[in-house]
């Protein structure tokens, strides 16, 4: 399918207020199952931008922004509100709380980190044994989650109930060309959808889902896609950039994505094989509009698209991610220009979607 560049098209501007919104979203703690802090920010931002919105049984926010005209294609955009984190499992007194990990966090990332616990954001730390007290044999092994505690200080003994969620406490910052903060996976996707709602395409009906529980099994997306029943869907996420130098100096050929190289278009990951017509549409738009993009290396991992595409009679789906380093740790790093290019690529691609889009050839 050939794309003709629309000469009138202008990329949506990313203004300081968009970055400020991403900062607020990143600093909010919303671990899978407890997305209220992000839900609150999203609702306050979108309520004047959309035609209608609702919250479903699981806590997803579903909203619609209609285009101009009838029988327009219904395009779903999904970004997940939840982040990886912790759940308090028992109170051991003197400020020590045992905890479980929620979502995929390498236990080697835990020792020595500040955290925020519960809706009152009580500050605490995950301590680690003093080096003086750890034998050299002990230091050959990783510190197990079992041996770590969230410590809120003896002044907060017996204050927190088991079942309370907690997250990393890292504060967002803009550093040169980069944005650094916790939970950019997937607050950058959330902020991307909000930026698109501020500059909505008129040729489609936009159905948006801010989903819950992605990090624990793509759960929110499953029911969101059922309710919205779109013609097609795009999951917006943050994908790992494993683009560090190899220890032996060899070329890194398993980088997944590279930061600074533009939005990552998925052809296939561990959960979804992207609809080839959507892949070519978006690639063609990138080429014609000269918006940098990269193909995410196929392999493990998954996005909300993993559950969306199997909903109802099937929903042709694709994922587009902002590449991010160190996801699922205390902080991740993305490049501002990758985010801007993600919004541009999406905005331009949406403007080319019509009722013929899914009638094209599936062959690549």
Partner 1 sequence: MSNTLKHLKEMISSSGLSGFESPIREIISDAWEPYTDDLSVSKLGSLHGKLFGSGEEPRKSVMIATHMDAIGLIVTSVKNGFLYMDTLGGIDSRVLPGQMVVVHGEEEFPGMIIQPPDHALPKENQSGPVPINRLLIDLGLEEREVAQKVKIGDLISFATEPLELDGNYIAGHSLDNRASVAVLTKTLEILNKRQHLWDVFAVATTQEEETLGGAATSGFALRPTIAIVVDVTFAKSPGAPDHLSFEMDKGPTFDWGPNTHPKLFKSFEKVAKDFEYSYQHAVYSRSSGTDAITLQLAGEGIPLMIVGLPLRYMHTPVEMIQIKDIERTARLLADFISQLDDNFMDTLMWDAEKEEDEAK
User: Mind telling me the catalytic residues?
Assistant: 214
| C-alpha to C-alpha distance for 346 and 9, rounded to whole angstroms | 12
Instruction: Out of 13, 40, 129, 312, point to the residue binding partner 1 (CB under 8 A).
Output: 129
Window of 33-41, 109-117, 271-279, 289-297 that interacts with partner 1 by CB under 8 A: 109-117
Query: Which one of residues 2, 48, 70, 248 is an interface residue with partner 1 (CB under 8 A)?
Result: 248
The strand pair at 294-295 and 173-175 is best described as unpaired
Structural contact between residues 264 and 323, judged by C-beta atoms closer than 8 angstroms: yes
Q: Does 258 bind partner 1 (CB under 8 A)?
A: no
d(CA 340, CA 32): 27
Q: Does 90 bind partner 1 (CB under 8 A)?
A: no
* Residue 300 binds partner 1, judged by CB under 8 A: no
Minimal distance in Å, beta carbon 43 to partner 1? 30
Which H or E run includes 295?
A: strand 294-295
3-class SS of residue 116: strand
Bridge-based pairing of strands 205-211 and 74-80 is: parallel
101 binds partner 1 (CB under 8 A): no
User: Residue 142, interface with partner 1 (CB under 8 A)?
Assistant: yes
Structure tokens at 199: 């500059």
> Does 136 participate in binding partner 1 (rule CB under 8 A)?
no
- In whole angstroms, how close is the CB of 260 to partner 1 at the nearest point? 8
For residue 222, how far is the Cα from the chain centroid? Answer: 16
Residue 350 corresponds to which tokens in the numbers above?
A: 């949406």
Question: Which window, 62-70, 152-160, 231-239, 303-311, contacts partner 1 (CB under 8 A)?
Answer: 152-160
Q: Show contacts with partner 1 in window 161-200 (CB under 8 A).
A: 169-171, 173, 175-178, 180
User: How far, in Å, are 288, 322, 325, 341 from residue 2 at the CA level?
Assistant: 9, 25, 34, 21
The counts of H helices and E strands in the chain are 7, 17
If binding is defined by CB under 8 A, does position 152 make contact with partner 1? yes
- Judged by CB under 8 A, does residue 245 bind partner 1? yes
Of 252, 354, 355, 356, which lies in the binding site for partner 1, with binding defined by CB under 8 A? 252
Is the CB of 15 or the CB of 171 nearer to partner 1?
A: 171
DSSP per-residue letters across 65-101: E--SSSS--EEEEEEE--B-EEEEEEE-STTEEEEEE
Tell me how far, at minimum, the Cβ of 154 lies from partner 1, in Å.
6
Q: Which residues are near partner 1 by CB under 8 A?
A: 94-96, 106, 108-109, 111-114, 122-134, 139-143, 147-149, 151-156, 159, 169-171, 173, 175-178, 180, 240, 242, 244-248, 252, 254, 260, 325-326, 329-331, 333
């Amino acid at each position: 399918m050939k794309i003709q560049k629309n000469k009138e098209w202008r990329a949506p501007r990313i203004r300081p207020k968009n970055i400020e919104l991403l900062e607020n979203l990143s600093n909010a703690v919303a671990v899978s199952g407890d997305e209220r802090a992000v839900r609150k920010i999203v609702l306050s931002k979108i309520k004047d931008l959309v035609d209608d919105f609702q919250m479903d049984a699981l806590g997803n926010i579903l909203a619609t922004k209609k285009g101009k005209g009838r029988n327009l294609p219904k395009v779903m955009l999904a970004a997940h509100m939840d982040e990886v984190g912790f759940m308090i499992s028992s109170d051991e007194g003197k400020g020590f709380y045992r905890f479980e990990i929620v979502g995929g966090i390498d236990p080697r990332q835990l020792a020595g980190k500040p955290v925020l616990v519960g809706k009152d954001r009580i500050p605490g730390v995950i301590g680690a044994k003093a080096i003086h007290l750890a034998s050299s044999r002990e230091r050959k092994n990783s510190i197990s989650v079992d041996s770590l505690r969230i410590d809120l200080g003896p002044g907060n003994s017996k204050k927190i109930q088991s079942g309370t969620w907690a997250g990393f406490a890292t504060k967002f910052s803009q550093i040169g060309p980069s944005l650094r903060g916790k939970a950019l996976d997937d607050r950058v996707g959330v902020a991307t959808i909000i930026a698109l709602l501020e500059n909505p395409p008129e040729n489609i009906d936009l159905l948006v889902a801010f989903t819950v529980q992605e990090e624990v099994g793509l759960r929110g997306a499953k029911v969101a896609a059922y309710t919205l029943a779109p013609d097609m869907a795009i999951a917006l996420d943050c994908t790992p950039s494993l683009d560090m130098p190899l220890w032996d100096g060899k070329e890194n050929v398993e980088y997944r994505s590279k930061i600074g190289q533009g939005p990552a278009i998925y052809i296939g990951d561990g959960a979804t094989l992207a609809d080839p017509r959507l892949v070519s549409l978006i690639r063609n738009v990138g080429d014609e509009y000269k918006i940098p993009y990269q193909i995410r290396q196929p392999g493990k991992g998954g996005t909300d698209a993993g559950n969306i595409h199997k909903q109802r009679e099937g929903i042709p789906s694709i994922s587009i991610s902002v590449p991010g380093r160190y996801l699922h740790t205390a902080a991740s790093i993305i490049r501002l220009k990758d985010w801007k290019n993600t919004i541009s690529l999406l905005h331009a691609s949406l403007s080319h979607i019509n009722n013929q889009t899914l009638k094209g050839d599936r062959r690549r």
